[in-house]
Amino acid sequence: MNIRNFSIVAHVDHGKSTLADRFLEITGTVTGDKMKPQLLDSLALERERGITIKLAPVRLKYKYKKPVILSEAKNIYPSATPQDDNNEEYILNLIDTPGHVDFSYEVSRALAAVEGAILLVDAVQGIQAQTLSHGLAALEQNLTLIPVINKIDLPSANIEKAKKELTDTFGFIEDEVLLVSGKTGEGVEEILKAVIERIPPPNRHSELRPKDDQPLADVSESQTNKILNQGSPDLIGVQDDVNGTPLRALIFDSFFDSYKGVVAAVRIVDGEVPKVGSEIEFLGTKATGQVLEKGYFGPQLIPTDSLEAGEIGYIATGIKTPDLVRVGDTIITTVHLGGGEKVALSLYLRGVPGEIEPLPGYKEVKPMVYVGLYPIDQDEYHEIKDALEKFRLSDPAFTYELEHSNALGAGFRCGFLGLLHAEVVQERLSGEFNADLIATAPSVEYMLGSELIHNPADLPQGEGLKDLKEPWVKLEIFVPQQYIGGVMDLVQEKRGAFKNMQHFGAQVQLSYEMPLSEMITDFYDKLKSVSSGFASLDWEFREFREVDAVRVDVLVGGEKVDALSVVIVRGRAEYVGRRLVEKLKEVLPRQNFEVAIQATIGGKIIARETLSSFRKDVTAKLYGGDVTRKNKLLEKQKKGKKKMKMIGRVEIPQEAFLSILKS
């Protein structure tokens, strides 16, 4: 079987999904009225926002007709294999990926499942932050890169500039760079040919190794022979458990189906998926499941009888507990021996006692931004919890833990990779699970002594927080030269420390180190403003550094709203406190009584605003007469408002938490 596994990586809006559409058309994977723009962007939110959020695998079938004789002098494709016979059919497993920095974990998972990648660059914009980030990530995994310049049909396309940036940055030879238009289809078929010619086929016979010093059981030679001969009376149904070669598969994505349980998207590294009904095991969680269905993505789920080494597909496991199936885990086939003992078939069929070595998997992702999510109706708490558990299957970068707020009740402290990630998750929870939630303002993770704290309300009160550390990030900004001044002023205002400047033609890469807390408010919007929308950025966590900061609390009607607490650098605390109460005054609904809005540090009030009450005209029905009657009604109203103030509780709307971002 001729197989090529590849991905498309690029900066956001450089045309990945449109190019994938042309692949689907050319290969006949999707035809006629079933074809629609950005077909692989299956989420409603992806279509609404016009960006790719989730990785999307699909199998393409392509007949390679015209062999290309590579120049021996240039030898520009050292990884290429000898040309196969003309008109042979190839299976091309494509994984489309997001381009925004907040979804970089989706890209890393896709790259671990393929042997090569198309590095796509916009002919107008050239190399951007995520072009560099994803390209270097692919090279770190020893993937073969195919450089492609897209949107060559645009009048403002600068092909030579983009080509020079690719050759200077990644060391490509000019003849390697392909020119295409995903919109018109020009040059697209040449990419499919290049995928076959340049990207190596998957290794379908990797060496299986036992895990050192972790034997499961001692197996005698005679017992091993019985296992190999599949004739042992103590062996329970080998032929029923396994159909063909043993299995080792990497889970790179998953989702929940109410009928099939957890469906795992997998790259088959060794062997083949056993027949329907066979037992499988997950090495990381030690959970067992059953092959209810196996198949490939077309892009919808298409069942098949065979899913072998080198292929990308899915396994419906029947497992109804989402936590048991984790992205990055290894699936194997198991055999039951006498006495209820269960062993890894991949090794025992070869007579090797011991535990099978799991596949490398993925580096565990670390959330950078934390938001409190609370059910508006507390009766829906358990339904929301189930929704979060199922959602985490499709987004392993999302984390959550239980928490309680005095103001909002029971809820969840959720971790995200960035602000866009947080927004997208909230919208998906609302759209896909009908989750009616209120979200607090985003915060970062702080370190107090040796303890990590995700919620500002959990920090101690007082004028100062000793031994408090905040996260700093390494920030890379790509911007045209004429906007350097404005960008540098902005980053300096946000406590950024300049590190380096590098030129890429008309583009400049500015390297900074900056507190993450300064990035999660309005930094991205201001960056786009000072650069007229041309700047792009990439960032990664650097380290925790000491910070002189205080906790600012908010009191509404004399009650502390813990969900509105924020950590602010001491020098800006009073300014932020004043801005915060001013914004809250604008968004809080008026009551039938006056409401005091106060910002405090410890027990000291640093800012106050008063939300005036509604005033009902209780004298409207009077038509003249004694003034004492009027005064009596006004005094009665005043007493009623005083009683309401004592027992009244102000409802905090979602806009109140958003106001923190603007303060």
Top pLDDT among 554 and 244 is at 554
Span 639-657, mean pLDDT? 54
Q: What's the rounded Cα separation, in Å, for the pair 422 and 424?
A: 6
CATH code, 2-198: 3.40.50.300
Confidence at residue 315, expressed as pLDDT on a 0 to 100 scale: 95
Inter-residue contact 17 to 50 (CB < 8 Å): no
Q: What is the pLDDT of residues 480-513, one digit of tens each?
A: 889 999 999 999 999 999 999 988 777 889 999 9
Which sequence spans correspond to the domains of the chain?
2-198, 221-348, 369-458, 468-547, 551-662
Record the tokens describing residue 400, joined without a space. 């959550």
Whole-prediction pTM value? 0.76
Q: Is 191 annotated as a binding residue?
A: no
Q: What is the pLDDT of residue 295?
A: 94
The reply to whether 468-547 shares the fold of 369-458 is: yes
Length reported for the chain: 663
Mean pLDDT over all residues of the chain?
80
Residue 286 counted as an annotated binding residue: no
330-336 and 144-150 as β-strands: parallel, antiparallel, unpaired? unpaired
From 260-264, 340-344, 587-591, the region with the lowest mean pLDDT: 340-344
Q: Is 150 marked as a binding-site residue?
A: yes
Please give the average per-residue pLDDT across 323-342, as a whole number: 72
Nearest to residue 402, comparing CAs of 417, 423, 420, 381? Answer: 381
Indicate whether 324 pLDDT > 70: yes
pLDDT in tens, 609-636: 888 876 555 455 555 566 676 676 666 6
Which helix (H) or strand (E) element contains residue 134? helix 129-140
- What integer pLDDT is reported at residue 47 of this predicted model? 65
Question: Closest Cα partner for 591 from 534, 650, 654, 511?
Answer: 650
Q: What are the pLDDT digits (tens) for 19-41?
A: 988 888 888 887 766 666 666 75
Is the pLDDT at 3 greater than 80? The verdict is: yes
Choose between 44 and 444: higher pLDDT: 444
**Averaged over 145-156, what is the pLDDT?**
93
Q: How far is CA 649 from CA 406, 565, 566, 591, 655, in A?
A: 12, 18, 22, 9, 17
The answer to whether 17 is a known ligand-binding residue is yes
State the pLDDT confidence band at 231, using cuts at 50, 70 and 90: very low
Mean pLDDT on 207-218: 40
The answer to the question of whether 79 is labelled as a binding residue is: no
175 annotated as belonging to a binding site for a ligand: no
Binding site annotation covers 153?
yes
- Architecture per CATH, domain 221-348, reads as Beta Barrel (2.40)
- pLDDT in the model for residue 33: 66
What is the pLDDT, as a whole number, of residue 296?
93
- How many Å apart are CA 632 and CA 21, to the nearest integer? 76
Find out whether 15 is annotated in a ligand binding site.
yes
pLDDT band at residue 12 using 50, 70 and 90 as cut-offs: confident
The encoded tokens of residue 195 equal: 């995928």
Is a pLDDT exceeding 50 seen at residue 412? yes
Mean pLDDT, residues 246-266 taken together = 89
So what's the pLDDT on residue 618? 45
Report the CATH superfamily, name and number, of domain 551-662.
Answer: Elongation factor 4, C-terminal domain (3.30.70.2570)
Q: Please indicate if the annotation marks 16 as binding a ligand.
A: yes
pLDDT at 352: 47
For 567, phi and psi rounded to 5 degrees? Answer: -105, 125
Q: Please indicate if the annotation marks 321 as binding a ligand.
A: no
User: Where do the H-state alpha helices sit in 434-554?
Assistant: 484-493, 516-519, 523-530
Percentage, residues of the chain above pLDDT 90: 27
135-150 per-position pLDDT tens digit: 988 998 899 999 999 9
Is the separation of the CB atoms in 285 and 358 below 8 Å? no
Helix count and strand count (H, E) for the chain = 17, 30
For 468-547, the fitting CATH number among 2.120.10.30, 3.90.660.20, 3.30.70.240, 3.30.2010.10 is: 3.30.70.240
Q: What is the CATH code for 369-458? A: 3.30.70.870
More confident residue, 173 or 586: 173
Q: What is the 3-state secondary structure (H, E, C) of 90-126?
A: EEEEEEECCCCHHHHHHHHHHHCCCCEEEEEEECCCE
CA atoms within 13 A on the CB side of 387: 23
